[in-house]
Amino acid sequence: MNKSAEDGGSFSSKVIRIVFIILLLDLLGFTLILPLLPSILDHYAQAGDVTYQSLQSVVDWFREAVGIPMEKKYNSVLFGGLIGSLFSLLQFLSSPVTGALSDRHGRRPLLILTTVGLMSSYAVWAVSRSFSMFLLFRVIGGICKGNVSLCTAIIADLPCPKARNKGMAMIGVAFSLGFTVGPLMGAYFAASSKTAGNVFYETPALLALAFSVADIFFIWLMLPETLPKVKAAPSHGGDSWDLLSPISLFQFSAVTKTKEPPSKDRMQKLQVLGLVYFCYLFLFSGLEFNLSFLTHQRFQFTSMQQGKMFFFIGVIMALIQGGYARRIKPGRHIRAVHMAIMMLIPAFILIGLSWNITMLYVGLALYSFAAAIVVPCLSTLVAEHGSANQKGTVMGILRSLGALARAFGPVVSSSVYWIAGAQTCFLITSATFVIPLVLLSKARRLKEE
């Protein structure tokens, strides 16, 4: 008994290490583009690209509708937000399907397939010389970016709750490191590419391609299949509408379409947790998007200063996830999420009212601490739901709800920011975090019952 538990523990530790490396390679490739986006947009604007000009008219319409000043910096943020929303909407559509297919065919094959898709998207970026090709790269990437939900499904497959908690926290660490180191690498290699006389984004694109090639080899050689072999019935017996309809996704309808559906109480708790996840990310992603506006408008931050700010956030998040978050004991996750969201309220009040850099950074430190805890803990809680052959569907739907929140949160929040002002926007959103707190209390009561 003890020996089998030991073997299970060593297997889980091995899987967590492998998933961490897979996801870190994936995220390093994904984040290389982040500091280059304003320069890429300028590049196509100056070239007079027809596709760029047609999308610029959409950005101009939104800018005029909410009263955003005509300034190059703000235009880049809005255009980047538009492309980001398109990417998130594609994620919303593809994540549940990818998850359900992994329940049927295994995690490894789907992870290899999505990574091959990402590899092809980076190849398109490397050879792109028009904005249409650049958009094609983002569309292919949005459809194929199933690695995160598949990695969470692999962690959800682990038998021990303690291992699942550690695994979700390590996924968070991979995110923090990827979003901290990747943009720095992107900026460095863009500069070296320009010095060599190439198009400035060519070397970062080729590096992203190299990361995805390394990822495929690593998955192929190192990752064991974690989907339980006992899966006589396919996980998804309903129609594909359950994986595409927003109403069905919020209800996790696909999870009930099985011979032994979860109890009504279990389903109710899963639905409440999904709603908490959506509400949190909708509010959080909106204020995160507005940070670029606020720091530029109030403190005249340059791109380098904003890069340092996001580096500060990433380092704190990695430290919290690698230290505190992965040691949270099973049964204490709802309490940890409650505490983290409570901390976000003063964090965003401090950021919204900040009149000096010290006050801003105190708010950002609280923000980083809270952001490091909420998503890994909610992922751990959701991973407890569904049968052994439904984890891909469950985690795919959760990822899809997050993508939907990230698609619309920035649009709503930036509208409030420019119509009502920075302080009002941050104060109203801080107060609105009461909604996920109330939903969490409901989830805790369901647990107790």
The whole-chain average pLDDT of the chain stands at 88
Exposed (0-12), middle (13-18) or buried (19+): which is 301, by Cβ within 10 Å?
A: buried
Q: How far apart are CA 128 and CA 205, in angstroms?
A: 10
The H-assigned helical ranges of 106-160 are: 107-127, 131-144, 147-156
Task: Report the pLDDT value the prediction gives residue 230, as an integer from 0 to 100.
Answer: 56
Q: What is the pLDDT of residues 156-169, one digit of tens each?
A: 999 888 899 899 99
User: Does residue 173 contact residue 321 with C-beta atoms inside 8 Å?
Assistant: yes
User: How far apart are the C-alpha atoms of 13 and 17, rounded to whole Å?
Assistant: 6
Q: Which pLDDT value is given to residue 4? A: 52
Q: Is the pLDDT of residue 103 over 70?
A: yes
pLDDT tens, residue by residue, 326-349:
888 888 999 999 999 999 999 999
Contact 268, 274 (CB under 8 A): no
Count, in order, helices (H) and strands (E) of the chain: 18, 0
Burial class (CB in 10 A: 0-12, 13-18, 19+), 294: buried
Q: In the structure, what pLDDT confidence band is assigned to residue 7 with cuts at 50, 70 and 90?
A: low
> Residue 426 and residue 117: Cα distance in Å, rounded?
38
pLDDT of 8 reads 62
Q: Is pLDDT above 70 for 3?
A: no
Looking at residue 235, the DSSP 8-state letter turns out to be S
CA 15 to CA 440: how far, in whole Å? 30
DSSP per-residue codes, 11-51: HHHHHHHHHHHHHHHHHHHHHTTGGGHHHHHHHHHHTT-HH
What are the tens digits of pLDDT across the range 247-266? 999 999 988 877 777 888 88
* 326 secondary structure, DSSP code: G
Helices (DSSP H) in 261-332: which residue ranges?
264-299, 303-323
Which residues lie closer than 8 Å to 277 by C-beta, 6 or more apart?
375, 378, 382, 398, 401, 402, 405
Q: So what's the pLDDT on residue 137?
A: 96
Q: pLDDT tens-digit profile of 360-393?
A: 999 999 999 999 999 999 999 999 888 888 899 9
Cβ–Cβ < 8 Å for 141, 33 = no
Chain segment 187-243, per-residue pLDDT in tens: 889 888 888 888 889 999 999 999 999 999 999 999 999 988 755 345 444 567 788
* Integer CA distances (angstroms), 444 to 272, 298, 316, 335, in order: 10, 40, 28, 9
| pLDDT above 90 coverage of the chain, percent | 55
Residue 134 confidence class, pLDDT cut points 50, 70, 90: very high
d(CA 161, CA 317): 22
∠ CA 183-135-393, nearest 5°, is: 80
The b/e string for 263-285 (b: 16+ C-beta within 10 A; e otherwise) is eeeebebbbbbbbbbbbbbbbbb
pLDDT confidence tier of residue 308, bands split at 50, 70 and 90: confident
Model-level pTM? 0.89
Lowest-confidence pick of 2-16, 58-72, 281-295, 387-401: 2-16
Lowest-confidence pick of 1-10, 16-25, 153-162, 265-274: 1-10
